[in-house]
Amino acid sequence: MVKLSSNSFRFFRQFRHRVLRILHPATAANVQHLNYSQSAAPGEIKLGASSCTSGVRRRDLMSEITSSRRRCKTLESLQDEYLLVAYMEVYLSQGLVQHAEALFNKYRRQGHQFHSDVCTKMLMGFAEQGNNLKTSILYRNLMQEGIRPSPSLYAALLHLCSKTHDAKYALEIVREMKQNGISINDIFYKTNLNEKQASSIKMILTVCFGQSVEEELKPLSEPEPVYPRVIQSLYSSSNENYCLSHKKTAITELLGDAGLQERFQEQLQVEKEGVLNVQSIQKGNDDTVSEINLNDAISDWRRTLTVAMETEIEEYSRILDIIESDLISSRFIPKHYPTLPIMSAEDWANILVEDLALEIIEQPDGLPVKYLCGRIKKRTWAKFVKNQKYADGIVQKITDMYEQYTSFLTSPDYTSKSARQYWNELCRESVLKGSMKLNITHWPFFMGFYIGGILLDILLKGATITEMGSNRVQAFYHYYQFENNKKIGFIKAHPLLHKYWRSMPGDKLPSFKMEADIIPMVVPPRPWVSVTDGGYLLTPVSIVRCQEDTFQHQLMMEQVENLHAIYDALDYVSSIPWMVNSKILELVLTVFNENGNEDLMIPKGTMPPLPEIPKNAAPEEKTQILRQRKEMRKAKHEMHALRMDMLYKLSLAKHFEDRVFWLPHNMDFRGRSYPLPPHITHLSSDVGRALLQFAEGYPLGKRGLQWLKIHLVNLHGGKKKAPMREREEYVEELLPLILDSADKPFDGQRWWQLADSPWQTLACCIDLASAVRSGDPEGYVSHIPIHQDGSCNGLQHYAALGRDKLGGFQVNLTPSEKPEDLYTAVAMMVDERRKQDAAEGNVHAQVLEGKVIRKVVKQTVMTTVYGVTLYGGRLQIQKQLEDNIPKEHLFHCSKYLVQLVFQTLSHMFSNARDIQEWLIGCSRQISMAGHPTEWVTPLGMPVVQPYHRKSKLKAGTTPLQQTSIQSSTDLSRPPDLTKQKNAFPPNFIHSLDSTHMMLTALHCQRVGITFVSVHDCYWTHACMVDKMNKICREQFVALHKEPILEDLAEYLDKMFGGLEYVDRLSKKKEQKQCNFNTGMPNKGDLDLDQVLESTYFFS
């Protein structure tokens, strides 16, 4: 049992705190329910699977860290507490236990109850010093507060015994451990000991037992988890497809066994340094004469800033010496000082010069201080974590384990172990050398603001340039500008610096410093084995990507023991090797360095000059020119941002040209997967997608050749809605134009440039031309990814949930001879209604004669499933109509038309609309009862919506500037009713489409099919499309044959059913109770098995 203080327990019972129950009732067997039991002693929580009533609420899984613990006023929010704990951890890492103790005791005296993990860190800090007295006092205090002894607490005591060579006390601890049901296994397997601590405990236990600890340890295998219903058969040992194929060609034939080890060392070095040097591909004028030599300036800045940082570090040491002499209190230590020893003065100077200064120079208007502080925090945090990994022996363990792991990956044999299972096995085998896990608190924003403000101030004072021959001036300036009535601080470079950067060729400019967590890996990523352990080798990343200072998603997922299916799905899409398409890269570089081409989505490098205002201009003319200048300036800034993004993308692609690389993935809080590198990724624009191809190639075969042709038509868009056979025939008719595009992209007829996705179309033209000319098209080895896109996938899920027959037909859930086009169907039905209204004299309907076409309604129809409102839909339609109807009619016509669109969709998807309204109603009740909406996906992933009312302004001050921030994700604030209810339907549907993607990925892995996705667009090799399509349909049907809505209602009822709330949206402000079982949407008679035969479901 986990104990809380009696006060906390009564506080919890009095306000009946919400429950964040992680698992679906259907999948509850794979983790124990956590609930309050009336039979428990005061302050205790029993673990069990008993149901909860409305009178006794099951306990919030995050309340141990948030609301269930006593909190002092200064640490009300999780962000405030994390900031304090981060400082404590930094002190402990430097061996300054007394300063961490000062912070710890200060807030304990104010009544704050820290999480047991924080207490354990302090206990281990005292033990590390061999301080018997303080260790004993803290341990006794923790016991008095009702904290139950844990393996981590006993590990700290044993470490103390080893430091003090007290074998007698160690034996007493071992006896007490046994009385509390804690074994020697638990000390090593259930704690986060570093290498030195593990060795120390191993030594004292050897003295106690008179024999090796290995003989006391029992072999520990991974417990057999109980998987969610929808995935149980896949993981069943009786499943003949359970074996996982690790194809030798994927790695060994691409790199060679020795090559993989060399690449591991390369990847390790990049992550150790934290950045990768990438040469710019920008072309400039070699004859440009500049007043500034940027490379010389950078060298000068580096020297000056290194001296300045050495002074800061020395000042920190001086203050520590004064504190040691008891002349001042540790509270006088400036807030940025504790982080200074994380890096050397040279490393700090390099961050300032090579990372921040160069990025500021690239931007004509500079960069916000908040953004720059975030960059500094990210780099400092990553360096701190890596330092800890080196100090704790984790890096050496990764090095040793990865060699075995690569042997496992390159084995041509079939194996019954996944990458995750094998990595966990390696971790267990080396447990006596310490844990692979590093329990470090993520740094909140202000941790970076304090150090960032000081560093930027040093940059402003230390970096200078020579102007007008001999005059030394500041290289960077700090200024403010107003955005949305907010005063925002910016750092801007001297205009001469930006002018130099724009004019110089890339080979004369300093290289880009790309951070390690935004670049591809040159070795297969580490498998995900926990919420914070996976992906890159050393670089810290979380499995859930979220906004700054949003911690609830990670906290929830850490409470779930079985996310194995989710880990395995992410591991598989991360394991696919990629290469840059060199032919496309060469062509894109040509266009980019010739000032770009907006029609081909390559941003221009220069813009027309701003118009001058004539001296004798009339007031109206002057106003018009000023407005034009403002619009042009805005367009220029937007174009520059796009140009810079493309420059990064192409420079990185050039760097990885002719190399195999991997894209590690994580996911958002709804489960949708994303590659961690943002520049080279298949989740990109048309240009970014065209630059990528699979590193592995496979012969097309007969069906693969057909799919390559169909894919070309889909990308071009001309016959995308035609039957499959017509698309193939269309390619045969246009073969001369296709070959011409492949041979003469810029000098021929340029058919590819008319496509919806021109660059991907060109890549496909080149591949098809090579296949046709190979002499054996079916034997041609193709690397091009073939896409299969869901047909209005959000509405597909709605139609399947409601068994909506008419809606299912419109989104291709049922077989048909040609693909149904929902957008065209809606446009036709809306236009029929408009004609009737026009005949009855409706002026707006008459103005819209001939204007209601597919393009006008498409965006509104597409976003309806994602919660677009009438207001938002009107703006979308207004944008499409603004060039086609008079301005005086624009507002009323768009308002009239959006109402018709919504009415038409409600008729076509009646059940879907009912489901959407029911979901909104559920979220509305939960939010009014004071809780954010939460649910669990069919794969067991917990989801909580992070939308809260904005917190109070929190201010921080540095010599550079003061800043104030508000958080909309603070757990201590009430939920935002409007955002919660409006976001629930689209977020719930997104969690279903992510589940479908993961199910498809897992089944593709079992049969050795290449698989990656762009949300609801699935990619594979041409020869594998048919198999993937079969799996995709089977898993959609399997998913929706689960009682998804019924399980959701049951889950919400157990979590929130019976909670009282005041209906603030009703006129009478009635007192009500949450009830989710009434008003459940009715279902239609759609036969889900028809999806299995639908050609155009995904196509």
Residues belonging to the chain: 1099
| Bridge partners (DSSP) listed for residue 943 | 935
Per DSSP, the residues of 179-233 read HTT--HHHHHHSS---HHHHHHHHHHHHHHHTS-HHHHSPP-PPP-----HHHHH
Q: Is 468 left (phi over 0), alpha (psi -120 to 50) or beta?
A: left
CA distance 763 to 581: 8
Nearest to 997 by CA among 1051, 938, 946, 1044: 938
CA distance 79 to 841: 60
Structure tokens at 245: 């194929």
CA distance 675 to 505: 31
Buried/exposed code over 333-351 (b: 16+ C-beta within 10 A; e: otherwise): bebbbbbbbbbebebbbbb
1059 burial type by CB count under 10 A (0-12 exposed, 13-18 middle, 19+ buried): buried
Q: Is 1079 left (phi over 0), alpha (psi -120 to 50) or beta?
A: left
| Identity at 181, one-letter amino acid code | G
Q: Is 1016 a catalytic residue?
A: yes
Structure tokens at 774: 């190979």
- Among the listed residues 121, 709, 858, 954, the single catalytic one is 858
Helix/strand/coil for 1048: helix
Nearest to 587 by CA among 845, 803, 359, 766: 766
Task: Measure CA of the first residue to CA of the last residue in the chain; give whole Å.
Answer: 53
What residues have CB less than 8 Å from 808, skipping those under 6 apart? 796, 799, 800, 814, 1086, 1090
CA distance 3 to 64: 10
Per DSSP, the residues of 115-182 read -HHHHHHHHHHHHHHT-HHHHHHHHHHHHHTTPPP-HHHHHHHHHHHHHHT-HHHHHHHHHHHHHTT-
Per DSSP, the residues of 356-408 read IIHHHHHSTT-EEHHHHHHHHHHHHHHHHHHHHHHHTTHHHHHHHHHHHHHHH
CA distance 1097 to 1035: 13
**For residue 431, what is the DSSP state?**
G
Q: Is 166 a catalytic residue?
A: no
Structure tokens at 792: 């209005």
- Among the listed residues 117, 347, 789, 1063, the single catalytic one is 789
CA distance 905 to 123: 62
- Among the listed residues 80, 533, 821, 1016, the single catalytic one is 1016
Catalytic residues: 789, 858, 1016
